[in-house]
Amino acid sequence: MRSPGLTRREAVAALAAGAYAANGIAQTPTGPRRLDVHHHMFSREAVNTFRANFDKGNPGPLRLDWTPARSLEAMDQAGVRTAMLSCNIPFGDNPVAARDNVLRVTREMNDYGARLTSDHRGRFGLLAALPLPDVDSSLREIAYALDTLKADGVGLLTSYGGRWLGDAVFQPVFDELNRRRAVVYAHPITAPCCHDLLPGTGSQVLEWNTDTSRAIWSMIDDGELAPPRVSTATRCPKVTFIWSHAGGTLLGLIQRFLGADSSAEGLARVPKPNSRLYHLRRFYYDTAVSANPIQMTALKSLVGASQIVFGSDFPFASPLDTIQRLQGSQLNADELRGVLGGNALRIFPRWK
C-alpha cells in the first residue's frame, strides 16, 4: 500500500504547523530533542482490523482518523522532534485462529511504518509489530523488521490470547530479542478474561492498566510462591523494556510485587541483582495518560526519574497537553528535560 498523499485538510494542517514554529509557539527541530515513545500510527488495514476487534464494551469513540500530517502538526505544536511509531492492534481473543490475517496485517503495518520513517526522516522512528503468538513467524518478522526495515525496536501487546509476555511459550522470541539487544515497548490490550466486566466502563479505564501490571509481573516473576525459576527479565538482561501508562496499576501493587523490598529500608538499599526490584528499576515507563503529580511522584520514588520517558498516546491524547501536565507534576527542571528526551536518547542513541 502506498503512503497516502496529503489531502487539502492535511496540507493546511502542515502549513499551520509551520506557522506555529515560525511564531515560536513550538520548539523547532533545532531546539532540545524531545522524543515521544508512545505514538500510534494506523495503516488502512490496521484501521479495519482495529474496528473489527476493538472491545465492544467500550462506549468511547475510536479516534482512528490518523494521518502522518496530524502527527506532525501535533508534534510541532509540542516541540517534539521525533515520535516512535507503533501500531498495537488486537486480533481478537483467539489470534491463533486469525493467523493468516495476523501475518498479513502485521507485515503491512511494518512496511507502512518503514515508509513513513523514510518519507519523514528524523521525525518518525518505528517500533515494529510481531505476529504473536506465532513464535516462528515472529522470529522471521524480527529479522525482517530489524535487519531489512531498520526498525528501532518492536512494539508488542501485553498479552496474546490469554498469555502474557513472560509466558514460557514466548521464550524463543525474547531470547532472540535479547541476542539482538532490542528495545521492547509494550502496550496493553483487553485479555479474553476481562471484556465488559463493568458494563459501560471502557477497558482503557481499568483493564488496560491491569493488563500492563500482569505483563510486568509475568516478566519479573521468579517463583517466590512456587518452585524458583529464572524470570524472563533475568534471562533477557540485554532487552530494554518500555511499559505504557507509567506501568499501569504497578504502583498500587508494589508491596505485593516486592514484599520486604517495598519497605523504606528495602527501597533505600541497592537491589540485589536480578531481584524483582532490580528489574523494575531497569525498566522504563512512559507518561501517557499518567502525567500527573500523583503518578509521577510515586513512579520517581520507585524507579527514579531517569527511567521515565515521554509518551503522548497520540492520537488518543495530545503531546502538548501531556507536556503541560508534566510541567505541573513536581519534576524539577533537570528531571523534566530527561523525561522529555534525554532518558529516551539513552534507549535510542541514533536520534541524538
Structural domain spans, the chain: 31-351
| pLDDT tops 80 at residue 65 | no
Q: What is the mean pLDDT of residues 77-95?
A: 90
| pLDDT tops 80 at residue 195 | yes
| pLDDT tops 90 at residue 97 | no
* CB contact at 8 A, 164 and 205: no
Distances (CA, A) of 158 to 132, 166, 167, 216, 248: 11, 9, 11, 8, 11
Closest to 83 in 3D by CA, of 291, 293, 288: 288
31-351 folds as TIM Barrel (3.20.20)
Does pTM surpass 0.85?
yes
Closest to 232 in 3D by CA, of 255, 213, 215: 215
The owner of cell 465488559 is: 196
Q: What is the pLDDT of residues 274-305, one digit of tens each?
A: 999 999 999 999 999 999 999 999 999 999 99
Give the pLDDT of residue 63: 63
Q: What is the mean pLDDT of residues 262-269?
A: 96
Give the pLDDT of residue 11: 40
